[in-house]
Amino acid sequence: MADPVALIVAGPTCSGKSALAMALAERLRGAVINADAMQCYRELRVLTARPTPEDEAAIPHALYGVRAAAKPGNAAWWRGEALEAMARSRADERVPILCGGTGLYFQVLREGIAEMPEIAPEVRAEARALLAAEGPQALHARLAQVDPQGAARLKPADSQRIARAWEVWRQTGRAISEWQGERVTPAPWRFGAVLLDPRRDALRAAIAERTRAMFEAGAVEEVRALLAQRLDPALPAMRAHGVPEIAAYLRGEIGLGEAMRLTALVTGQYTKRQATWFRHHRLADPPDAHTIHARAGVPAQFPERITADLVNFIESVG
């Protein structure tokens, strides 16, 4: 029996992925599964533009707002949760539609990823303290002594990955490169992929509009509540686009307009990195790969023609 089929809807931030995923879910009796690293955090509904409660009531959604900001997610955790959500969708006779812009998540979902160890809080704190006291280059030199292969793969300024590799070694006595060499079985699914690729000018306009709407919808209050938890600033949720910028506004360092401008700026910079990743990685193996180029703009509602084409596509590979 052939493996079941799932659909990937990918693209940069603000490219219209959620609208397309919803349209496809309505036509295909689908379920939308989050594949965005930040939309999993429950405290960040506004800043990550999570689906509305109305959308979640109309179509089954999974992995949105399921994790506390204090508990960092990662690709291995997400993969396990996504595979379980896909299995539930299949049992409910729904097509899993994985929607997001975190390219690494799609890669590890299809190909597998090493099972990494849990890191004790005191080990993580030690790594962060060393990073703060000595800087990333000094910690990189320490890492090179115990895990030369892992250190060679990292740039000396890549503080987050260096700290992660150091944590793994301190926790387990094994190099992170050893853990990463232990791959798991690829997912037993066939993947059809839709990559949205809007023009840069349309994407910049969409980012500006979304940023304005977020600030009007309570982004400042959302960050204020997050900061009240006094979390480690190195946590992923604390580095989400808009959090550092609004935090600077709340500390009185910049004005509200500047916080909005910087939020749009860092979001735009991130979409360039997303576009680079998608250019160099396949989302699905031929002949299942399928790309939509939304070059006329980033519409809130996709034309019926596009939706119909995608419905035909997923039915043909299924």
CA distances (Å), 219 to each of 17, 52, 115, 124, 258, in order? 21, 15, 35, 29, 14
Supply the pTM of this predicted model. Answer: 0.81
Residue 147 confidence (pLDDT) = 87
CA distances (Å), 217 to each of 46, 47, 304, in order? 7, 9, 30
The domains of the chain, with CATH numbers, are 5-113+185-200+273-317 (3.40.50.300), 121-180 (1.10.20.140)
Residue 80 confidence (pLDDT) = 92
Residue 303 confidence (pLDDT) = 57
Residue 75 in contact with residue 114, Cβ under 8 Å? no
pLDDT values of the chain reduced to their tens digit, one per residue, 318 residues: 578 889 999 999 999 899 889 988 998 899 999 999 999 999 999 999 999 999 999 999 999 999 999 998 888 899 999 999 999 999 999 999 999 999 999 999 998 876 777 788 888 888 888 888 889 899 999 899 988 888 888 888 888 888 888 888 898 888 887 776 666 678 889 888 888 888 888 899 999 999 999 999 999 999 999 999 999 888 999 999 999 999 999 999 999 999 999 999 999 999 999 999 998 888 877 666 566 655 444 454 455 666 676 677 666 665
Residue 150 confidence (pLDDT) = 83
The tokens of 242 are what? Answer: 């808009």
Residue 286 confidence (pLDDT) = 63
Query: Which residue, 105, 92, 103, is CA-closest to 30?
Result: 92
